[in-house]
Amino acid sequence: MQLETQDCTLPVVCGTPATPDAFRAGMRRLAGGVCVLTSELDGLPVGLTATAVTSLCAEPPRLLACVNRKVFAHAAFERTRTLCVNVLAAEDTPVAMRFAGMVPNVSGAERFAEREWQGTPPMLAGALASFACRVVEIVAAHSHSILICEVERIAMRETAAAPLVYAQGQFGHFSSIN
């Protein structure tokens, strides 16, 4: 059996080896919704910006999030087994930047200063949706952990808004949402 090969003409690049750099470049083209994952550790709020969040199943309601084990918030998710997934709207770009460490001299609990947060784990007031979760399983996957979370409470924004997305190393949004 002979495999057919694709006609490799520009701008398509065929047969690029799957190096870490090529992988990162390819994944930058995969647009992802932007969330802020939050929890508390020793009475202090912690959080990070994430795009590796997806639904897992509806019965029971579960989602998963992939988190680098080196970040401080990972310890909170692991120890407390609680987190909140806050889905950001396009106007929440400053929040995403704060929690991604892109705002100079702002870190730790200071990241929570610019907006209103409610409850434990911290839920962003006005987020498109917030999912308060209990972490039911943690799967080690190289440098990251896959957090499998059972959703216990959901808060949703009443007014429609464009979701914040991340692609090509930039935050953006859809031009129209029906």
pLDDT one-digit tens code per residue, 141-170: 999 999 999 999 999 999 989 999 999 999
Mean pLDDT score of the chain, rounded to an integer? 91
pLDDT in tens, 109-139: 999 998 999 999 999 999 999 999 999 999 9
Give the list of residues 6+ apart from residue 39 with CB closer than 8 angstroms, or none.
45, 46, 47, 73, 76, 77, 80, 82, 83, 84, 121, 122
pLDDT band of 3, cuts 50, 70, 90: very low
Q: Are 152 and 134 in contact (CB under 8 A)?
A: yes
Q: Please tell me the predicted confidence (pLDDT) of residue 16.
A: 78
Q: Which two tokens stand for residue 43?
A: 């009475």
Asked if the model's pLDDT at residue 91 lies above 60, the reply is yes
Give me the mean pLDDT over the 15-28 stretch: 88
- Count how many Cα atoms sit within 13 Å of the Cα of residue 118 in the half-sphere of its side chain: 10
Report the alpha-carbon distance of residue 178 to residue 171 in Å, rounded: 20
Higher-pLDDT residue of 22 and 35 is 35
C-alpha to C-alpha distance for 76 and 40, rounded to whole angstroms: 6
Q: Taking the domains of the chain in order of start, what are their residue ranges? A: 32-163
Comparing CA positions, the residue from 31, 162, 43, 33 lying closest to residue 112 is 43
pLDDT at 5: 42
pTM of the predicted structure, to 2 decimals: 0.88
Which residue stretches of 14-137 are H helix? 20-27, 72-80, 93-99
Band of the pLDDT at 2, cuts 50, 70, 90?
very low
Judged by DSSP in three states, 53 sits in strand
For the domain spanning 32-163, the CATH number is: 2.30.110.10
pLDDT at 112: 97
Phi, psi of 110 (to 5 degrees): -60, -25
Strand order in the sheet with 170-173: 32-33, 164-167, 170-173
